[in-house]
A and B are shown apart, each in its own frame.
Chain A
């Protein structure tokens, strides 16, 4: 049964991956819903540009995104330097930076899913609520948000899955530090680089597959339950 026990190296990478991915999804939630709402409901000058900007991480090589993040959010970066001086929080070479890298890479997927479900919402329901005197905020939280909940969940799953597999932007931005930024894909990469690492690499492959599979199945189950609830079945 020895092969069923995770080594400390594997446990560390797995737990770190889960932590980084959960945080990546968490920090994307509010900005993602706002961005999706703007894209679905607003018409403004430069909307196409805004749309492309949000989708950029999906099509750019991840290394490019990682390098941008280093230049922008590093301790000496334009934005990162400012944040560091203001709050003492640094994203360079720690798990927070890894979570940011994953969040940026996963953001377009999340926004897309939420936007699609927002576009499917019957605006007649919102209009009816308004005629009954509900405020905009109240309409959003009592009508729109419950209706798009399945879309948000789908988006979160996609974002979570994308975060679990994030490699290029992470290794470029925050390098490969055990226990800090060495997530499953980075640990796997390290093992493929070591002369006798084949067995470890294969084990990490299997762990990755099992984790991804489990996450997808669980979320599928959840989202089915949720859509039933929304439809009131």
Chain B
């Protein structure tokens, strides 16, 4: 009994030490990050914005801390007081949502990128699909499903729904959807061959060689896909402004184009 309690006490002391060490860790991280810019960016820009952030950190002394999720998630987080300095949305709707609440600097809001949505399939195969009104998507799918971002809230899914609706095939496809929680998850389902077809941005198709683009949705069947960026109101707006300006620089544009974006 005695040795047990001694063991228990030393375990408890160890635990306390760890707690206090981690406390210290948070504080030193705060001290080192005196100059940083927190960027909330749409999941589809993950690779490009990470690379641009690294370049920006190298050029200036300012550290870029990116946070990637679906545009809707990020907008909700900012609405609830998340400490973002710059917000990059894959859909003007969510930027308007924040704008209406007075959370972003109106004058800084601007279109920075364009994108396309495409139909993809797992890499091995020859299939090409001509996308035109009334095309036989359901026939091609057979018993399988089509993966895309959830058309209720994921921008890539919303564009996909608009395109399929205008092409006149939405009603028959709607029950056959796999509604992914973001566009990258929709991509993974196709990469792994769990579904034969998916709808993602052309930029998502460009980052992996496990999928193939089988058709590009004609631009006149969905609203233009526009990425907007803006400065989030707060006490770090100057660094936010510097990063936003950098996003529009030729260096940043090169990186965006490398990942398949159309730059404005």
Give A residues with C-beta under 8 Å from B. 70-71, 74-76, 92-93, 171-172, 175-178, 189-190, 192-195
Any chain A CB within 8 A of the CB of B181? yes
Any chain A CB within 8 A of the CB of B178? yes
Contacts A172-B185, A175-B185, A195-B97 given; indicate if A74 touches B192 (C-beta within 8 A). Answer: yes
**Distance in angstroms between the alpha carbons of A70 and B192 in the assembled complex:** 9
**Are the C-beta atoms of A175 and B178 separated by less than 8 Å?**
yes
Chain A residue at minimal CB-CB distance from B174? A178
Chain B interface residue number, banded:
20 to 34
Contacts A175-B189, A176-B150 given; indicate if A70 touches B194 (C-beta within 8 A). Answer: yes
Interface string of B87-116 (1 = CB under 8 A from A): 000000110010000000000000000000
Beyond contacts A175-B179, A193-B72: 13 other A-B pairs, Cβ-Cβ < 8 A, are: A76-B193, A92-B194, A93-B145, A93-B195, A171-B181, A172-B185, A175-B185, A176-B181, A190-B150, A190-B152, A193-B70, A193-B76, A193-B152
**Distance in angstroms between the alpha carbons of A43 and B180 in the assembled complex:** 44
Chain A residue at minimal CB-CB distance from B144? A75
Q: Which of B70, B94, B147, B192 contacts A175 (CB 8 A)?
A: B147
**Distance in angstroms between the alpha carbons of A70 and B154 in the assembled complex:** 21
**Are the C-beta atoms of A194 and B147 separated by less than 8 Å?**
no
Q: Which B residues lie within 8 Å of A176 (CB)? A: 150, 179-181
Any chain A CB within 8 A of the CB of B258? no
Chain B residue at minimal CB-CB distance from A190? B152
Q: Which B residues lie within 8 Å of A70 (CB)? A: 192, 194
**Are the C-beta atoms of B180 and A175 separated by less than 8 Å?**
yes
Give B residues with C-beta under 8 Å from A. 70, 72-73, 76, 93-94, 97, 145, 147, 150, 152-154, 177-181, 185, 189, 192-195
Chain B residue at minimal CB-CB distance from A178? B179
Q: Which B residues lie within 8 Å of A190 (CB)? A: 150, 152-153
**Are the C-beta atoms of B178 and A93 separated by less than 8 Å?**
yes
Contacts A76-B193, A92-B194, A175-B178 given; indicate if A193 touches B145 (C-beta within 8 A). Answer: no
**Distance in angstroms between the alpha carbons of A76 and B188 in the assembled complex:** 13
Chain A residue at minimal CB-CB distance from B70? A193
**Distance in angstroms between the alpha carbons of A75 and B122 in the assembled complex:** 14
**Are the C-beta atoms of A76 and B192 separated by less than 8 Å?**
yes
Q: Which A residues lie within 8 Å of B76 (CB)? A: 192-193
Q: Which B residues lie within 8 Å of A194 (CB)? A: 72, 152-153
**Distance (whole angstroms) from the CB of A195 to the closest CB of chain B:** 6
Of the A-B pairs whose beta carbons lie under 8 Å apart in the complex, a sample of 14, sorted by A's number, is A70-B192, A70-B194, A74-B192, A75-B193, A76-B192, A171-B181, A175-B178, A175-B189, A176-B180, A190-B150, A190-B152, A193-B73, A194-B152, A195-B72
